[in-house]
Amino acid sequence: MIRSALMNVMKAAAVKAGRGLKRDFGEVENLQVSVKGPGDFVTLADRRAENVLFEELSKARPGYGFVLEEGGIVEGADKTHTWYIDPLDGTTNFLHGLPLFAISIGLAREGQIVAGLVYNPANDDLFIAEKGQGAYYNNRRLRVAARRDMADALIGCGIPHIGKLKDHPRFMAECAAVMKRAGNLRRLGAAALDLCFVASASYDGFWERNLKPWDIAAGIIIIKEAGGFVTDADGGPDMLAKGSVCAGNDAIHRQLLELVRSAA
């Protein structure tokens, strides 16, 4: 387990914000919901959790900048460090009573992600990683799956919702290409957790486009520290800027990337 001062700060902030999410999840039918766009909802729980994370991390690491899902970019005096915060990844699952949602916290130092945490308050699942320190699920060291044959692989994906109609044709083409080769596909609705499931070998691979930096910052380093490979969905290194990911062990990542790119 990682017991650095940095990880202690991240865990404390996530657990504190998670208490409110757990409470609100139990009363989800009473939450007020505002609509950002078709199929894309923001709850009061989301905003409250982000406020807690911002306050706790600002107090523990004054001067660090933020990239927040709801609050946008907050410039810090320390230009070398930036937090990437998603207070509630899997909002639609949360609103429908599905216990697959998470807080995601990633920290970049001079543009490189150096620490990540993904926490599901519904079941207290905690995934963490710090550069050079490995990745862990609760107290267990993580390693990506060893499968190398795509026909045996379970592949996760993200399906564009109704508000992203223009992305449907491309996804359908990519999905068809992967379905012809992969053992099976899954779509769970929370990219931060999807990436952690690759790191923990529950998935053999995962790809998704049109993501935000806060969706994937933490998951990227968790996969890397678990021995996995992750690029953008076109094979490039800048996932945060491109807003897409393709991940797996070396063999599955390579095969999945070829399939996704061939469908373009």
* Binding site as annotated, residues: 69, 86, 88-89, 215
Q: Which residues pair with 114 in a beta bridge?
A: none
How many other C-beta atoms can be found within 10 angstroms of the C-beta atom of residue 243? 17
How many other C-beta atoms can be found within 10 angstroms of the C-beta atom of residue 99? 14
Distances in Å between the Cα of 236 and the Cα atoms of 45, 70, 111, 121 are: 35, 27, 16, 33
> For 127, phi and psi rounded to 5 degrees?
-115, 130
What residues form the annotated binding site for Mg(2+)?
Answer: 69, 86, 88-89, 215
Distances in Å between the Cα of 81 and the Cα atoms of 13, 110, 112 are: 17, 6, 9
39: Cβ contacts below 8 Å, ≥ 6 apart? 92, 161, 162, 163
H/E element holding 13?
helix 5-26
